[in-house]
Amino acid sequence: MGWKEEIDKLKRDIEESYKRALEELEDIVESVLSWRGIISPRRLYRELRSVVDDFKADLFDIERRLREIEREVGEEAKSSIVEIEKLIEDRVREFTKKYEESVKKLESYVPVEWRGRRPWIAISMMPQKLAMIISREVTGALRTALSELERAVEETSAVVSSIRLRKEDMGVIDELVNAGIFKSRSEAVAFFVRRGIETSREWLERVRESVKKIRELQEEVKRELEREEK
């Protein structure tokens, strides 16, 4: 099987895994709604966790296979790899939305006094596990760019200090530096001098959205943990 056929297979695998995860999620919701009784949060947690963990495992396996293609094929496969990574990110976000909607439907079947306890908190926070996949997607999307960074710094270090960028462009660069994607403004500017700030805008927006989502998830987890400690 050639690498292009393998890419097509990865796309199918992502869609099949996503569809399977949604169907399993819907089955759990329908089962609880048809029961019309009180359900144990621990049991519900185990069932939902199984769905999330299986979906996550499938996507990690796809990411592993994608990295193998990246190593073997190189630059020729770059656009296809970015396309697959974007598809993974989209399906993770869509699944997370469906999961949160399902939890809201199930909430009325959980006694009020149980909702602040560990099992229900764990159920509510389950999508945060998928933040690892989003984070991994960002890393994958940037891998090729960052591999060029060292050369870019060497080639442009003499002119970085004299470059004048628009205020909004510097704002984007500062966001990427604060997120740890670049070590400094100089490194970021060097990279965009090589790549071109205008041609990088679509890519930048994808990265910014992913970074924003990761930060939101981190803050949400932090708040939940702080509430649990009180």
pLDDT tens digits, residue range 133-180? 555 554 554 444 444 434 433 443 433 344 445 556 666 777 777 766
Do residues 194 and 156 touch, judged by C-beta distance below 8 A?
yes
- Cβ-proximal residues to 3 (8 Å cutoff; 6+ apart), any chain: 69, 72, 73, 77
Instruction: Report the predicted TM-score, pTM, of the whole model to 2 decimal places.
Output: 0.55
Tokens of 97: 């939305």
- Cβ-proximal residues to 172 (8 Å cutoff; 6+ apart), any chain: 204, 208
pLDDT tens digits, residue range 48-91? 888 888 888 888 888 888 888 888 888 888 888 888 888 888 88
Do residues 103 and 29 touch, judged by C-beta distance below 8 A?
no
CA-based Rg of the chain, rounded to a whole angstrom? 21
